[in-house]
Amino acid sequence: MKNVLKNIRTLTKQNLEDYFEILGDEKFRAKQVYEWLWLKPVQSFDAMTNLSKELRNKLKEDFLLPGLTIDATQFSEDGTIKTRFKTHEGHLVEGVLIPTKSRYTACVSSQIGCSLSCKFCATGYMDKKRNLSFDEIYDEVVIINQQCEKIHGKKLTNIVFMGMGEPLLNYKNVLRAIERITSPDGLGMSPRRIIVSTAGVAKQIKQLGDDKVKFKLALSLHAANDRKRHEIMPINDTNNIKSLVDALNYFYKETKNEITFEYILFKDFNDSLKDADELIKLYRQVPVDLVNIIEYNPIDFAKFEKPEEEKIEAFINYLEKHRINVRLRRSRGKDIDAACGQLANKN
């Protein structure tokens, strides 16, 4: 029976050193290969040009180097770029480059599809195929960073895990990807410039606290009482608002990292001043740094609508009057289905 080849990127530097020692080769080969895998990521062993042809062929015999490839790219009028990636077995997943005057943000996915079925999110209407591996998540960031450098002459400044899937249901891969992204022998990004967004998995939020992570956390709240939240986010059945308040307070106690509430306004559903009052009450129970009010972006399957501008303004003004740190996040890339809640592998 033929051996199943191992993905070489699952090996640590020490593993690679051991491998070359067994081959009877020099130890420094491990450092060379590791750099090709992470510092100047290549998609084939043949591209590792400082290795002999014999050694490259040996690596091909012993390992796989599966990576994401670009399947399609769309350019928005506002400068947003959506990329549809293809995995080695043909699954599709999307990531987005969002440029502004002051920052260049990669919005990355953590799963192919999603199992949470949030009623306002296009990905929620897809089946979950599988988790992305840590090196596939890393590939998303690398490719989007290359786009950023090519088009803007700048590296990415920020990463948000707000694409397809629930990051905390792919916990180990997301944390390992962030370790590679922030490592000096990876992309060397500051963890303070990374936000992981969750629909609210209380147990895993506490785990982030135990693991003393250094990145920021965003909770997709979207309703400040259990009845309404349950209606649009089935995860609230098992992770109600009280359990999330407890988990977020624990996370903050252990890490002191910033927490953001994400709140999409839906017309005649969660946009009244009574809803704002409930949000204020909740805000005061958790050390929240910011409330992000998000414009709703229509999707084919959902009945929701965006409120009128005056209603959005009144909601935000009311929060500000009660000394809430609030910001309106305008949607980017709507014309190419790249905005918040729109990712569904459409082209």
For residue 72, what pLDDT is reported?
94
Q: Where are the alpha helices (DSSP H) in the chain?
A: 13-23, 28-34, 53-62, 134-152, 171-182, 202-210, 226-232, 241-255, 273-283, 309-321
Question: 225-275, pLDDT tens digit by residue?
Answer: 999 999 999 999 999 999 999 999 999 999 999 999 999 999 999 999 999
Distance CA(141)–CA(143), nearest Å, equals 6
Are the C-beta atoms of 170 and 198 separated by less than 8 Å? Answer: no
Predicted TM-score (pTM) above 0.85:
yes
For residue 340, what pLDDT is reported?
58
At 235 the three-state DSSP class reads helix
Mean pLDDT over 132-141 rounds to 97
Mean pLDDT over 38-55 rounds to 93
Domains recognised in the chain with CATH numbers = 6-64 (1.10.150.530), 69-336 (3.20.20.70)
Burial of residue 323 (CB within 10 Å: 0-12, 13-18, 19+) is exposed
Q: How many residues comprise the chain?
A: 347
C-alpha closest to that of 205 among 192, 191, 215, 194: 215
% of residues, the chain, pLDDT over 70: 94
Mean pLDDT lowest for which of 126-135, 168-177, 242-251, 267-276? 126-135
Question: 286-322, pLDDT tens digit by residue?
Answer: 999 999 999 888 777 778 899 999 999 999 999 999 9
Annotate 256-278 with b (16+ C-beta within 10 A) or e (fewer): ebbbbbbbbbbeebbbeeebbeb
What angle do the packed helices 171-182 and 134-152 form, to 10 degrees? 40
Distance CA(30)–CA(248), nearest Å, equals 41
Active site residue ranges = 94, 340
For residue 2, what pLDDT is reported?
53
DSSP secondary structure letters along 70-121: EEEEEE-TTS-EEEEEE-TTS-EEEEEEEE-SS-EEEE--SEES-SS--TT-
Distance CA(110)–CA(268), nearest Å, equals 32
% of residues, the chain, pLDDT over 90: 81
The CA-based angle 80-233-171, given to 5 degrees, is 70
At 158 the three-state DSSP class reads strand
- Looking at the predicted structure, is the pLDDT value of residue 283 above 80? yes
